[in-house]
Amino acid sequence: MNEIIQELSDLNVGKVSENEPLANHTTMKIGGPADLFIEPSSVENLEKTMHVIRKHHIPWRAIGRGSNLLVSDRGIEGAVIKLGTGISELEISGCEIKVSGGFSLVSLATQISKKGLSGMEFAGGIPGSVGGAVYMNAGAHGSDISRILVKARVLFDDGEIKWLTNEEMEFSYRTSVLQTKRPGIVIEAVFRLEEGDKEKIVQEIKGNKNYRKDTQPYNLPCAGSIFRNPLPKYAGQLIQEAGLKGHSIGGAKISEMHGNFIVNAGGASSEDVLALIQHVKDTIFEKYGVRMETEVEIIGRK
């Protein structure tokens, strides 16, 4: 590993460290060390990083702002690539915007609302990065990324960089082709929006942010929604009706504010969270015959 770190350092790709605790990089504040942690300072340096990783046959995965992730206490084998401030550019051209994968989704929604552009109001308050949002087709309030994405520029692990159209992304509920068929890093995305009433758009963004603040426990470390909604039913509603709100295992607790959130109430391990997830699955299936599927991505060593 020292040889690889030296090689990356010589290339000056950005921040490089060994055995970096991923609890420092996830919104749930849970996660063991990454063997190798890299935060490239530009898209060019991301490409250089991937070249080194491929040359040395190192397993890898990318993260953005660490939301929607539950990382094993035993950490992650290989390299973790974080798309951070070095990959966070924004270009606005009329109703079309091009934005880097590391850009904050909340910040993007706020900035374009002030330009009088409509279509991303649903993203007000959604934590995470643009790349992560495209990767999982993030959505809320009856809309999602698939409604506005024109194309996404993706870096695949074989080194190929390719623009994928909306159709090629194969979006469905909270998923895309990057989850189901071919892993890759969303370097940038192009969205098409519409001109609208700036005041109305800004107020809707604020309303969506306030709704999340009032109904979801973002004052505590959490990963966002834990379960996919088993439509037409809603995960949070089923969990509440089953009397599970407030139930805890170790330091992990089902939020009393929203049933589809598990919070780190203090010193929670990934094993605590996994045990609580399984308890919810078992209880909901026993009571209602509904199989719950996780929306949060569970990664790392078993």
- Going by their DSSP bridges, the two strands 252-254 and 248-249 should be labelled as antiparallel
DSSP state string for 110-149: HHHHTTTEES-GGGTT--SBHHHHHHHT-EETTEEGGGTE
User: Which pLDDT score, from 0 to 100, does residue 212 have?
Assistant: 83
Of 102, 136, 107, 101, which is closest to residue 120 (Cα–Cα)? 107
**Which pLDDT score, from 0 to 100, does residue 141 have?**
86
Q: Contact 71/54 with Cβ under 8 angstroms?
A: no
Ramachandran assignment for 94, one of left (phi > 0), alpha (psi -120 to 50 degrees), beta (any other):
left
Task: State the chain's mean pLDDT as an integer.
Answer: 93
User: What pLDDT, on the 0 to 100 scale, is given for residue 125?
Assistant: 80
Give the pLDDT confidence of 63-105 residue by residue, as tens digits. 988 988 999 999 999 999 998 888 889 999 999 999 999 999 9
**Cβ contacts of 114 within 8 Å, gap of 6 or more:** 198, 202
Which structural domains are found in the chain, ordered by start? 2-85 (3.30.43.10), 89-215 (3.30.465.10), 235-299 (3.90.78.10)
Query: Which of the residues in the chain have pLDDT under 70?
Result: none
Instruction: List all residues 6 or more positions away from 60 whose beta carbon is below 8 Å from its beta carbon.
Output: 50, 53, 78, 79, 80, 81, 157
How many residues make up the chain in this entry? Answer: 302
Catalytic residues: 174, 225, 295
pLDDT in tens, 136-181: 999 888 899 999 999 999 988 787 889 999 999 999 988 999 988 8
- HSE of 153 in the Cβ direction (CA atoms, 13 Å)? 13
Global confidence as pTM = 0.87
State the pLDDT at residue 37.
97
